[in-house]
């Protein structure tokens, strides 16, 4: 069910469970004991494989395991390109337990803590204290490394029945994320922001606002944070007084207003999963139009380039926490354009570090900029395949 960036697919990647989505025309007579091969890398399922196919996949699995073992040498190495450009490779998580996997894989921080998972699979709202303990635990696991925590992003493909949210006709365009939180300050947003601020006393926590489309949303959220800081001061409760507040840049509006937003926030994190969806007007969970959903779209890449450029002009950090951040074809381009942080599933960290260590960002700049002149996805993809072959990635 859904596309490769759907909630279920993201969970499968985080848990390192091989999965294939968007399958059609499967025989109805498949039983629990039917022999199948599942290839999560190319999105293919082979029903009743032949002996030769089984042998081929046994060899593929051996090669996969060998390569995974080889990548372990990058665990303790910094993320530095050939020309000395230092970037940060961080992890996307949904729970404190996930943070441990990021550390095990050599992650240099948390680029996205999806806090909605703390609200899911339960019958009532997590208390401020429960949230505080979760945020504090992640900060402790990361031992001073940056931890970017996204405030509640509910809606779209993530529903929470006990919140009493009426289903929108177009859930991805409706009452979700920052819109929901600013509308329900007392029972949702203030407790979460207070928990985040309290937890910031125990580590390098940063607050990230999702689905921003206007300056009013940023200023209203920041005003709320300021009010909570005053309340904590009055009660002598510790918190990081200089906590950074940034935004997810994941809408066409945020991309077009990146130059203005960059003057108001401390960092950008490009959420490509939604940015692609909103830029291309394509439901990322609809398999019938999955071909339109691609990070290699000329419009998407131009948007990403603009966001990075405006962040660099303003002198703020710019990262990426969508699935595209770990794409082997895109990493060299993003590096050349000036991306500071790449955040991904823990299992992708070491491979991404290997790719970055083999790139010369200065030498790549002109080559990366060529994609901005291209007019089709297929042209861009073919060009980037040749570029990565040339780099030996």
Average pLDDT (212-216) is 98
pLDDT for 336 equals 97
Q: 243 in a domain, yes or no?
A: yes
Provide φ and ψ at 339, rounded to 5°.
Answer: -60, 130
The pLDDT of residue 18 is above 50: yes
Q: 30 in a domain, yes or no?
A: no
Q: pLDDT for 38-65, tens place per residue?
A: 877 766 787 777 877 767 777 788 877 7
Q: Hey, is 112 helix, strand or coil?
A: strand
User: Sign of the CA dihedral 146, 152, 153, 154?
Assistant: positive
Q: Is 303 in contact with 252 (CB distance < 8 Å)?
A: yes
Q: Is 384 in contact with 371 (CB distance < 8 Å)?
A: yes
Domain that holds residue 298: 81-391
Q: 146 in a domain, yes or no?
A: yes
Q: 31 in a domain, yes or no?
A: no
Q: pLDDT for 286-312, tens place per residue?
A: 778 888 999 999 999 999 999 999 999
- List the catalytic residues: 7, 321
> Which residue would you say has higher pLDDT here, 376 or 157?
376
**Location of structure tokens 């940015």:** 275
Provide φ and ψ at 217, rounded to 5°.
Answer: -65, -45
What is this structure's pTM?
Answer: 0.91
Q: 28 in a domain, yes or no?
A: no
Q: 4 in a domain, yes or no?
A: no
Q: 355 in a domain, yes or no?
A: yes
Q: 284 in a domain, yes or no?
A: yes
pLDDT for 119 equals 94
Q: Is 331 in contact with 348 (CB distance < 8 Å)?
A: no
Q: pLDDT for 337-350, tens place per residue?
A: 999 999 999 999 99
**Location of structure tokens 């240099």:** 108
Average pLDDT (360-383) is 97
Q: What's the number of domains the chain is made of?
A: 1
The pLDDT of residue 120 is above 60: yes
Q: Which residues contact 38 (CB under 8 A, 6 or more apart)?
A: 18, 19, 20, 44, 45
pLDDT for 1 equals 46
Average pLDDT (101-115) is 98
2-11, 75-84, 318-327 — which is least confidently predicted? 2-11
CATH for 366: 3.20.20.60
Average pLDDT (89-107) is 97
């Amino acid at each position: 069910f859904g596309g490769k960036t759907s909630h279920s697919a993201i969970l499968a990647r985080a848990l390192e469970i091989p999965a294939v989505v968007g399958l059609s025309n499967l025989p109805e007579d498949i039983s629990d004991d039917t022999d199948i091969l599942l290839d999560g890398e190319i999105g293919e399922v082979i029903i009743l494989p032949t002996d030769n196919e089984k042998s081929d996949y046994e060899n593929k699995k051996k090669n996969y395991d060998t390569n995974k073992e080889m990548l372990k040498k990058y665990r303790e190495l910094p993320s530095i390109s050939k020309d000395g450009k230092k970037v940060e490779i961080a992890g996307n998580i949904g729970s404190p337990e996930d943070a441990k996997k990021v550390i095990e894989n050599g992650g240099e921080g948390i680029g996205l803590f999806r806090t909605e998972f703390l609200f899911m699979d339960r019958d009532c709202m997590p208390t401020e204290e429960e949230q505080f303990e979760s945020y504090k635990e992640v900060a402790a696991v990361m031992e001073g490394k940056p931890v970017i925590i996204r405030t509640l992003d509910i809606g779209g493909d993530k529903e929470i029945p006990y919140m009493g949210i009426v289903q929108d006709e177009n859930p991805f365009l409706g009452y979700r994320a920052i819109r929901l939180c600013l509308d329900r300050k007392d029972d949702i947003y203030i407790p979460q922001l207070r928990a985040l601020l309290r937890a910031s006393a125990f580590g390098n926590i940063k607050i990230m606002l999702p689905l921003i489309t206007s300056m009013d949303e940023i200023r209203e959220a920041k005003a709320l944070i300021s009010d909570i800081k005053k309340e904590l001061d009055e009660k002598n409760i510790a918190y990081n007084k200089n906590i950074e507040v940034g935004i997810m840049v994941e809408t066409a509006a945020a991309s077009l207003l990146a130059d203005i937003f960059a003057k108001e926030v401390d960092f950008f994190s490009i959420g490509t999963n939604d940015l692609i969806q909103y830029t291309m007007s394509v439901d990322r969970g609809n398999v019938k139009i999955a071909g339109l959903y691609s990070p290699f779209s000329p419009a998407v890449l131009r948007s990403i380039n603009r966001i990075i450029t405006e962040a660099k002009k303003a002198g703020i950090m710019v990262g990426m926490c969508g699935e595209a951040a770990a794409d082997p074809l895109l990493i060299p381009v993003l590096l050349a354009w000036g991306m500071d942080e790449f955040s991904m599933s823990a299992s992708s960290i070491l491979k991404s570090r290997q790719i970055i260590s083999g790139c010369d960002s200065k030498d790549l700049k002109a080559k990366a900029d060529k994609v901005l002149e291209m007019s089709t996805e297929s042209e861009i993809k073919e060009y980037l395949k040749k570029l990565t072959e040339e780099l030996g990635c």
